[in-house]
Amino acid sequence: MRIFISADIEGVAGVVVPAHGQAGNPEYERARRLMTAEVNAAIDGAFAGGAEAVLVADSHGPMINLLPEELDPRAELIQGKPRPMSMFCGVESGFDGVFCTGYHAGAGHRGVLSHTTSGVTFAEIAVNGLPLAEAMVYGAYAGELGVPVVMLSGDDQLAEQCRPHFPGAEFAVVKTALGHRATRALSPERARQAIHAAALAAARGLADGSRGCKPFVISAPCRAEFTFNTIALADVASIIPVAERCGPRSVVFQAGSMREVVGWMNTLSAMSAMLR
């Protein structure tokens, strides 16, 4: 059994303000260690549940957050950017399941540090009318490959937004949102215990067939609507010949798959840097 883990930071217990995710300050150094420890809990749970191989993708910001020397040596690690399929780089049809650790609710949804891909860029990303969190965007891409998301960790708002779309998946709720930058969290030790238990249950469910998780699929064709935080950002996006301006701050792309949607999302995020 092969497990893929995508590791973000905003949903980690103890992470609550933007500084925790920004390199160059002591708060970030603490947060990346908390992030690494939560990933290790997921890795150990996966192997305890029957996994034979685990691949981890460092998936926050510059994607060089996890500390390789502190990571469980049984797992392989993907780091750095830009890279194909970004947060889910490395996922292929041969994987049995995906874990999403340290994840968060999407843009426009209440939650600790909620955003989708780029907090400075997108006010909302919706496909076929459904607003998506990052776990849903990339989970639908994995779904096209026949791979289900079977475990997620983060705050209560991540669980509220994503649970209906990942039936049968295990959720480790390690903190409760009191606001966008305020939270009531488990201690790091208890958070790791919860993640380990969820990872163990998810892996065992895959191994013995009892979990019943189905891939999350958004049927093609995909109408991807990107609503930006400013009109200027929408102006930039509308330069792309196939973009359709559908509002002052919104553009639409017609896509044949979620893989294409991910490509447009990351292209638009990168292009937005010209206005920063």
- Model confidence over 163-175: pLDDT tens digits? 999 999 999 999 9
CB environment 108-119: b (16+ within 10 A), e (fewer): bbebbbbbbbbb
13 and 146 share one domain: yes
**What value does the mean pLDDT of the chain take?**
97
142 and 260 share one domain: no
- Write the pLDDT tens digit of every residue in 228-259: 999 999 999 999 999 999 999 999 999 999 99
CATH code, domain carrying 268: 3.30.1360.130
146 and 233 share one domain: no
Which tokens in the block code for residue 270? 């990168």
Average pLDDT over residues 131-142: 98
Q: What's the rounded Cα separation, in Å, for the pair 69 and 62?
A: 18
Which tokens in the block code for residue 161? 């937004």
Residue 210 pLDDT: 74
Q: What's the rounded Cα separation, in Å, for the pair 171 and 176?
A: 13
Residue 108 falls within a domain, yes or no?
Answer: yes
18 and 90 share one domain: yes
Residue 212 has pLDDT above 90, yes or no: no
61 and 159 share one domain: yes
Residue 39 pLDDT: 99
Residue 36 pLDDT: 99
167 and 204 share one domain: yes
Residue 31 pLDDT: 98
Residue 276 has pLDDT above 90, yes or no: no
Q: What's the rounded Cα separation, in Å, for the pair 166 and 132?
A: 13
Q: How many domains does the chain have?
A: 2
Q: Which amino acid, one-letter code, is at 18?
A: P
Average pLDDT over residues 27-40: 98
**Which class for 80: exposed (0-12), middle (13-18), buried (19 or more C-beta within 10 A)?**
exposed
pTM of the model: 0.97
Give the dihedral of Cα atoms 265, 220, 162, 9; nearest 10 deg.
-30
Residue 215 falls within a domain, yes or no?
Answer: no
Residue 139 pLDDT: 98
Reported confidence tier of residue 209, pLDDT bands at 50, 70, 90: confident
157 and 241 share one domain: no
Residue 211 has pLDDT above 90, yes or no: no
- Write the pLDDT tens digit of every residue in 67-105: 999 999 999 999 999 999 999 999 999 999 999 999 999
143 and 264 share one domain: no
What's the domain range around 249? 222-275
